[in-house]
Structure 1
Amino acid sequence: MVNVLTELKYLFKRFVLIANVLPGLLGFIMAARYYNRSFEDIWVDFILFLVGSAVLVAGALTLNNWLEADVDKLMERTKQRPSVTGSISLRAILILGISLSLVGQLLLLLINMEVAIFGFIGWYTYVVVYTVWTKRRVTWNTHVGSLSGAVTPMMGWAVIGSVFHPIPLTLFAIMFLWQMPHTYAIAIRKYEDYARSGLKMLPVVRGYQVTIRRTVVYMALLLIIPLFLTGFSNLFYILISLLNLGWLAIGIAGFKAHSIKKWANHLFASSLIYLLVVYLLYIVFLP
């Protein structure tokens, strides 16, 4: 049993799974508070969303393992995956990935069509557009991967209300822009792995200086997003602006960093703190 759980942990990329499901749950919580919905009235939809989104993401990640088995064996950070070790056959991984994806999509469809559509958009862009079409060919594959992650808070919000609202739309924009520096930091930290694998990550193809410039641009764009929100208190705008400026300063520090790897470590750690604080600010100051 322990061995099975260990294999599934590698197959589902445990922390990636959590990182994709959690923003959706926070989007759900925000919508429930914003629309004054009692948990007693929406607990069934909550369970369907929690299980459905987790299963759908697990399906997408499993299919990613199957599709990238050849390059995963070249990288230190992925060589323990069952698709590489052979502890689970590639055929079984493919069947599991398809099954989980279908079950997850069905559970989301039981909530409403909007949730299911955004769930499918996230799944399709990650599995097909990102993994199959772009990751091995172009450096802007990161943008596609960011799109799939950015829809998660919109999925959670869509359980309660329409996503055509400034709160979920700005969360989508923040998630999309945030993932670029976050992913670039990972690519720098794992430069040797990506260089061996042949995947078209920006630091490997274009170098560190181009990556730092792009990082700063996306971080600077985050300063604009709060301007599209209305109804929040002045303190919210002050705090999120200070947060954005502080994170931007970390990005700019990369231009004069003595060790790019060390800077990338700081950028990666700060990106996690940044996103957590953003969601806390949204929840605490929700109109």
Structure 2
Amino acid sequence: MKKQANIIHSKKLPTLKYDVTVFDLISLFKGKVLLSNILPVFTGLWLALYFNNLVITGHLIDIVFTITGSTLLMAGALTINNWYDADIDRLMERTQSRPTVTGSIPLHIVLSTGVTFSIIGFLCLLFLSYVSAIYGFIGWFTYVVLYTMWSKRKYTWNTLIGSISGAVTPLIGWAVISPTFHVVPITLAIILFIWQMPHTYAIAIRKKQEYNRANVPLLPVVRGITLTKRRMLLYVSCLLPFPFFLSSIGPLFVLSITILNITWLMMAAQGFSSKNNAQWARTMFLYSVNYIVILFSLIIIFTLV
């Protein structure tokens, strides 16, 4: 009995540390992924104000509810994803520290948190605009149901389905202010959809062995790295014309994003001569992260000038 008590006590020790709890929460909500999705939401809202000649100070409530609602909705979806993928996360080194794997947060609490956040987030968006709420629901349903629960473990094209959820983010922000179709938010949604393919493939190449061990049929695992490189080159090349659909933001912006696209295309082409696939994939991954931050940051900067 004494030995059993010691085992139980040792299992509870990590959950008593506050810093571990904070890390667990960040991991549970996939903090970096969450932040990278909030920026396009805000940018979409910002552009709607800009193109409709509206003053930001007159829409502070809209901004607060949009950011709060979209953050909660996305955090809910990411949390449910962690809950559902707990079994395969145990098999991959990159996800073994998640609280759903370590047990620091019970799975039933993870699920209830995800559902609660999702509902509150959806209601916040619905309070502002039913069109914005529809876009939010599309993103949530695509990520949670169509990607996480259906396609992720079955098909190599699961990445395409997952990309839809990230693509709707600027549409959410735009619809809060102007629930009408406009070339700018639609173009940004298409760019995000295309961008996520080489971004995700770069991760898959780096972690190919882990995904193989977890039996997740990503393209590098099923079809090989060479084919994946070809697809990455194709998707990056598809980005080339889209800056020109954003000419209303300014010619200097179009030039800046075109340079980013050409640079990324050259990096993708270098993958065929690279002798270290993991290192090349890491470079592609880091560039993709910076690409999206620079893209949406420049949009805000050039509309301020």
With the length of structure 2 as denominator, give the TM-score of the two structures. Answer: 0.90
Worse overlay, 161-170 or 211-220: 161-170
State the match for 1:137 in structure 2.
154
| Match in the other structure for 1:169 | 186
1:265 aligns with 2:288: no
Matched residue type, 2:120? V
Deviation at 1:157, TM superposition (A): 1.2
Which of 23, 48, 63 aligns to 1:6? It is 23
Q: For 2:106, which of 66, 89, 92 is the aligned residue?
A: 89
> Conserved in 1, the CA contact under 8 Å of 2:246 and 2:254?
no
Kept after mapping to 2: 8 A contact 1:34/1:286: no
Distance 2:101 2:218 in 1: 21
Alpha-carbon contact 1:137-1:200 (below 8 Å) kept: yes
Matched, 1:80 2:94: no
> Out of 35, 51, 55, which is 1:34 matched to?
51
* Partner Cα distance (2:220, 2:20) in 1: 36
Identity of aligned residues (%): 47
Structure 2's unaligned 5+ residue stretches are 1-17
Does 2:205 align with 1:188?
A: yes
Q: Distance in 2 between matches of 1:130 and 1:149?
A: 12
Number of paired residues?
287
1:286 Cα deviation after fit? 4.2
1:162 is displaced (CA, Å) by 2.8
Q: Which amino acid aligns with 1:81?
A: R
Matched letter for residue 240 of structure 2: L
Deviation digits for residues 98-124 of structure 1 (CA, Å, limit 9, x no counterpart) = 111111101110011011000000100
Question: Do the aligned residues in 1 keep the contact of 2:39 with 2:296 (CA within 8 Å)?
Answer: no
Q: Which runs of 4+ in 1 moved over 4 A?
A: none
1:7 deviates by: 1.9
Letter in 2 for 1:185: A
Aligned match of 2:175: 158
The 8 Å contact of residues 66 and 93 in structure 1, kept in 2 or not, is answered as: yes
- What amino acid is aligned across from residue 188 of structure 1 in structure 2? I
- Equivalent residue for 2:266, pick from 241, 245, 249: 249
Which protein shows a greater Rg? Answer: 2
User: Secondary structure in 1 aligned to 2:248?
Assistant: coil
1:49 counterpart residue number: 66
CA distance in 2, matches of 1:50, 1:227: 28
CA RMSD of aligned residues (A): 1.6
The verdict on how the C-alpha distance between 1:35 and 1:101 changes in structure 2, with shifts beyond 3 A counting, is same
Unaligned runs of 5+ residues in structure 1 are none
**2:297 corresponds to 1:280:** yes
Are 1:195 and 1:204, in contact at CA under 8 Å, matched by a contact in 2? Answer: yes
The one-character-per-residue Cα deviations of 1:228-251 (angstroms, maximum 9, x if unpaired) are: 345344333333222211110011
Amino acid at match of 1:100: F
Corresponding position: 1:71 with 2:84: no
Question: Out of 118, 143, 146, which is 1:126 matched to?
Answer: 143
In structure 2, the residue matched to 1:59 is 76
Give the aligned partner of residue 106 of structure 1.
123
Q: Deviations over 1:54-74 (max 9, x none)?
A: 111111011001111110100
Contact 1:109/1:116 (CA < 8 Å) preserved in 2?
A: yes
Listed one character per residue, the Cα deviations across residues 80-115 of structure 1 (whole Å, up to 9, x for unaligned) are: 111111122111111111111111101110011011
Does 1:239 find its partner at 2:246?
Answer: no
Give the match's secondary structure for 1:51.
Answer: helix
Shift of 1:37: 1.8
The farther-off stretch of 114-123 and 6-15 is 6-15
TM-score scaled by structure 1?
0.95
| Structure 1 residues 13 and 236, CA gap change in structure 2 (3 angstroms) | closer
Structure 2 counterpart of 1:70, which letter?
D
Asked whether 1:21 is paired with 2:38, we answer yes
Structure 1, 221-230 or 244-253: larger mean CA deviation: 221-230
> Deviation digits for residues 142-196 of structure 1, max 9, x if unmatched?
0111110111111111111135101100100110111101000011111121111
Structure 1 distance, partners of 2:167, 2:190, is 7
- Once the two structures are superposed, residues 208-247 of structure 1 have per-residue CA deviations (whole angstroms, 9 ceiling, x without a partner) of 1110000011011101223434534433333322221111
Distance in 1 between residues matched to 2:35 and 2:300, nearest whole Å: 19
Contact 2:247 2:254 in 1 (8 A): no
